[in-house]
Amino acid sequence: MVGDELSKKAQAVFLGVAIGDALGATTEFMTSHEIKAKYKVHKKIRGGGWLGVKPGQVTDDTEMSLAIAQAILAEEKWNLGAIADNFLTWMRNKPIDIGATVRKGITNYRLKGELEVPVNHWDAGNGALMRMAPVALFTLGDDHLLKRYSLEQARLTHNHPLSDAACICIGQMVHAALLGADRFQLHAMARELIAEHKTFRFNNYKGLASGYVVDTMQTVLHYFFTTASFEECLIGVVNQGGDADTTGAIAGMLCGAFYGPESLPKQWLNKLDKQVKNEIEVSSSKLIQLSPWIAKDSHIQEISGNLWDYYDQGYVVAITTNGKVSKAGRNVMVRGTAKQAAEKFPALAEALGTQISNSGNHVYDLGNRVVSFPVEHSPWEVPDLHLIVQSCRELRRLTDNNNWQKVIVPRPGCGGGGLSWREVKPLLEPHFDERFLIINAVTR
Ligand code: MN
Ligand code: MN
């Protein structure tokens, strides 16, 4: 993706925050019934609300995000102390709104100089989640950095496992959306969050939209996955009331990344406070230009040859697999690199068959430096592009977690599967860095 196009997308993420904030400020702390009685459907940036904002004025959600962006851009690097200082300056300047937990955290920094508040089991507010946009932009292309910086900025004021998990999940979804993930891939990421913390489940959404980070995430995810445009999602979210400016800001961030710059309604953009809009546009472009994604220019390294030569050189080998398990409990490994692997390691088909029966068609560490890389559901079906992307993400995570330095992956779905490398390569790019080698493998 060219830098210019990505800059525009980055702006859409951060402008999404401001739009959601300004739009939702009107209905913050109202119930959905009160909103309906007063506006039928609230869909104009009109100001007012309990804070009495001017039309297009933003609140703490956008202001704190800008405070983080300013700290990063001042030295073109991550400096948590500088972020804390900016928060403190912001608080001293009497912002239009400030959450109780945020105030407590910043005061803790002021009094003790500490960059992390103690774990607080009683407070899982959304105050850290609402300011994730600059972190996501600045770390695009590096999941490790995203996680580290998300938690660092979050714990200046909020130190709770549910806040932590939500920050990382939204950051990862914004990353994926910026790099072209579709809604199925984003939904899979939301399901991963739920697998870790069931409380985030958002099917049967009950309409709770409070500042509790679980309610906030459920509201954002529910509307994101049940609507089809930036505008529709944001209208849904802010008409739910509750912490509407914050759910609006977070939904705006995600929708901006997913639907892109063209999707931001002009009537909302034009209403935004001009100075805030300008600062957001300039900062977003700078943040993304500093990101690891831009710094690396080539991501995919390619060779051709025999996969197992690289195995002998110490590479971890991914073999392209399917999800089919025979009656005897063995994975069906009849083609390509899977067939080669099954011949080399006779216990492999049973090991993978057991894993698939227990936990589904995923990337698994099968021992002996061999991992599965699902590309299709059965050997008689065409490869599934969604599955390939899921496998990329899982392999990347497994590699990170095991600290593997050399991993080789056959062109997925391109051998017997029949996909063209030109169509598959862009799917791999967001996930694989210099540790990965893609091989056009000889499989006869
Ligand atoms: Mn606010
Ligand atoms: Mn709020």
For residue 298, pLDDT beyond 60: no
Tell me the CA–centroid distance for residue 63 and ligand 1, in Å: 9
**Which three-class secondary structure string do you get for 107-120?**
HHHHHHCCCCCCCC
State in Å: Cα 61 to ligand 2 middle: 7
pLDDT, tens only, 378-392: 988 889 999 999 999
Q: Would you place residue 139 in the very low, low, confident or very high pLDDT band (cuts 50, 70, 90)?
A: very high
Nearest one of 210, 115, 216, 206 to 165, comparing CA atoms: 216
Q: For 269-322, list the strands marked E by DSSP.
A: 301-305, 316-322
CA of 255 to the centre of ligand 1 (A): 18
User: What average pLDDT does this structure show over 142-156?
Assistant: 96
pLDDT surpassing 70 at residue 1: no
Confidence grade of residue 241 (pLDDT, cut at 50, 70, 90): very high
Crossing angle (nearest 10°) for helices 385-402 and 183-196 = 40
Residue 130 vs residue 419, higher pLDDT: 130
Nearest ligand to the CA of 97 is: 1
Rounded distance from Cα 249 to ligand 1 centre (Å): 9
- Mean per-residue pLDDT, 408-435: 86
Cα separation, 163 vs 418, whole angstroms: 43
Domain with CATH 1.10.4080.10 in the chain: 3-295
Q: What are phi and psi of 410, to 5 degrees?
A: -70, 150
- What is the distance between the alpha carbons of residues 394 and 378, in angstroms, rounded to a whole number? 19
**Inter-residue contact 28 to 51 (CB < 8 Å):** yes
CA 243 / ligand 2 centre spacing (Å): 5
Ligand 1 center to 335 CA (angstroms): 56
| 301 closest CA partner among 407, 377, 215 | 407
CA 55 from centroid of its chain's CA atoms:
30
Ligand nearest to the CA of 242: 2
Distance 53 CA to ligand 2 centre (A): 13
At residue 423 the predicted structure's pLDDT band, cuts being 50, 70 and 90, is confident
Lowest mean pLDDT among 29-38, 192-201, 332-341: 332-341
Where on the phi/psi map is residue 408: left (φ > 0), alpha (ψ -120 to 50), or beta? Answer: beta
Average pLDDT for 114-132? 94
pLDDT band at 21 (very low <50, low <70, confident <90, very high): very high
Mean pLDDT, residues 170-191: 93
Q: Ligand 1: distance of its center to the CA of 76 in Å?
A: 27
pTM for this entry: 0.74
Identify the burial level of 205 via C-beta atoms within 10 angstroms of its C-beta, where 0-12 means exposed, 13-18 middle and 19 or more buried. middle
> Regarding the domain delimited by 3-295, which CATH topology (the fold level of the hierarchy) does it fall under?
ADP-ribosylglycohydrolase fold (1.10.4080)
Distance 356 CA to ligand 2 centre (A): 43
> How many whole angstroms from 246 Cα to the centroid of ligand 2?
4
Q: Are residues 408 and 435 in contact, defined by beta-carbon separation less than 8 angstroms? A: no
Count CB atoms within 10 A of the CB of residue 302: 12
Per-residue pLDDT at 355: 96
The overall average pLDDT reported for the chain is: 94
Q: How far apart are CA 254 and CA 175, in angstroms?
A: 9
Q: How far apart (Å, rounded) are the C-alpha atoms in residues 162 and 152?
A: 15
Nearest Cα neighbor of 83 from 72, 92, 93, 97 is: 72
Look-up of token digits 């007063």: 38
Reported as a pLDDT band with limits 50, 70 and 90, residue 233 is: very high
Asked if 272 and 278 count as a contact pair (C-beta separation under 8 A), the reply is no
Percentage with pLDDT > 70 across the chain: 98
What pLDDT, on the 0 to 100 scale, is given for residue 299?
Answer: 63
Quote the ligand 2 centre to 98 CA distance (angstroms). 9
Numbered ranges of CATH 3.40.220.10 in the chain: 301-442
Mean pLDDT of 118-142: 94
C-alpha 225 to ligand 1 mean position (Å): 24
Q: Which ligand is nearest to the CA of 211?
A: 2
Choice among 11-20, 211-220, 252-261, 425-434 with the minimum mean pLDDT? 425-434
Contact between 257 and 178 (Cβ < 8 Å):
yes
pLDDT in tens, 433-444: 889 999 988 876
Q: Which positions ≥6 away from 330 have C-beta within 8 Å? A: 349, 350, 352, 353
Hunting for tokens 């580290």 — which residue is that?
148
Indicate which ligand has the atom closest to the C-alpha of 58.
1
pLDDT computed for residue 368 by the predictor: 95
Rg (CA), the chain: 23
What mean pLDDT comes out for the span 217-234?
98
Instruction: Check pLDDT > 70 for residue 297.
Output: no
Residue 20 Cα to ligand 1 midpoint, Å, equals 10
pLDDT for 197 beyond 70: yes
Grade residue 131 by pLDDT with cuts at 50, 70 and 90.
very high
Q: 301-442 has which fold?
A: Leucine Aminopeptidase, subunit E; domain 1 (3.40.220)
